[in-house]
């Protein structure tokens, strides 16, 4: 069940913030392309904002996946 009580919730606020920032970068980047605004935030001045957002989001998922894999490995490890 979903709970917002921090003492009963195991999510990280920093990771949630990273996910939110990455999603907003993708949305804002696509909106800028669609409406044709913010020429100073486009190549060659800076990389595509939505590409950076996707990379951040994928890195975030990779961090979570590696953490889960490491925890599963430690739980299944047999100490002799």
Q: What is the pLDDT of residues 11-48, one digit of tens each?
A: 677 778 888 999 999 999 899 889 988 888 778 888 88
Position 2 in a domain = no
Pick from 45, 43, 57, 49: which is nearest to 28 by CA?
Answer: 49
Position 8 in a domain = no
pLDDT of residue 3: 62
pLDDT of residue 1: 57
Position 25 in a domain = yes
Position 5 in a domain = no
Single pTM value for the model: 0.64
Q: Minimum mean pLDDT among 44-48, 49-53, 63-67: which range?
A: 63-67
Range of the domain at 30: 14-76
Tell me the CB-side half-sphere exposure of residue 4, using CA atoms within 13 A.
Answer: 0
Q: How far is CA 35 from each of CA 38, 41, 49, rounded to the nearest angstrom?
A: 9, 13, 15
Q: How far apart are CA 41 and CA 70, in angstroms?
A: 39
pLDDT of residue 59: 83
**Tally of domains in the chain:** 1
Over the chain, what is the mean pLDDT?
78
Position 68 in a domain = yes
């Amino acid at each position: 069940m979903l709970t917002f009580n921090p003492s009963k919730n195991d999510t990280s606020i920093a990771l949630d913030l990273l996910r939110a920032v990455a999603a907003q970068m993708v949305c804002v980047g696509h909106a800028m392309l669609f409406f044709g605004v913010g020429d100073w935030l486009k190549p060659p001045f800076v990389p595509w904002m939505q590409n950076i957002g996707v990379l951040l989001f994928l890195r975030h998922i990779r961090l979570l996946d590696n953490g889960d894999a490491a925890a599963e490995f430690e739980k299944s490890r047999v100490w002799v």
